[in-house]
Amino acid sequence: MTLIIGCGNLLRGDDAVGPVLVRRLLDHGLPPGMEVADGGTSGMDVAFRMRGADRVVLVDASNTGGTPGDIYRLRGEDVEELPPLEGINLHSFRWDHALAFGRWVLKDDYPTDVVVYLVEAESFEFGAALSPAVDRAVDELVEVLAAVSTGAGS
């Protein structure tokens, strides 16, 4: 089973990219073998939600100074400890920490394949909608992820 987890805050503009993607995937219709989850802003929930999935795809906003709407694809193991996990503090426990924690606590129930898609944000303004560039990127990711689940994409 492929599990798509959308992370982010619906109240903060482009930070809503993950939860919005989850809703659009549901509207689009999930292919067989795909499940979705709104990971919100709780990394600990992400860690335990991954249990038993074969493949996990995390989607979140990024703020690297790149062009808004750019999509970055990363392997899960490349971001598991960026920055390093130094103890567990639920107030600052993010999805990247959840990957490292999940690998440690879930052991054999940890997914064999983890992929992260980051969408470059334009604005994190409270109450704002997605920017047009990020909105287009979400539509692109819906198509990419539907193809991945059916084996047509990567």
* Residue whose tokens read 């999930």: 30
Residue 55 lies in a domain: yes
Whether 15 maps to a domain, the answer reads yes
Distance separating alpha carbons of residues 134 and 70, to the nearest angstrom = 8
Q: The sheet that has 2-7: what strands, in order across it?
A: 34-40, 2-7, 55-62, 113-120, 71-75
Quick check: is 154 in a domain?
no
CATH number of the structural domain spanning residue 131: 3.40.50.1450
Q: Is the pLDDT of residue 82 over 80?
A: no
Closest by CA position to 51, among listed 1, 98, 110: 110
Given this model, what pLDDT does residue 89 score?
52
pLDDT value of position 77: 76
The answer to whether residue 27 is domain-embedded is: yes
At 109 the pLDDT is 79
How buried is residue 135: exposed, middle or buried, by Cβ count under 10 Å (0-12/13-18/19+)?
A: middle
Mean pLDDT over the full length of the chain: 84
- Measured distance CA(59)–CA(152) in Å, rounded: 19
Q: What is the pTM of this model?
A: 0.84
Range of the domain at 13: 2-149
Count of structural domains within the chain: 1
Tokens of 109: 């129930």
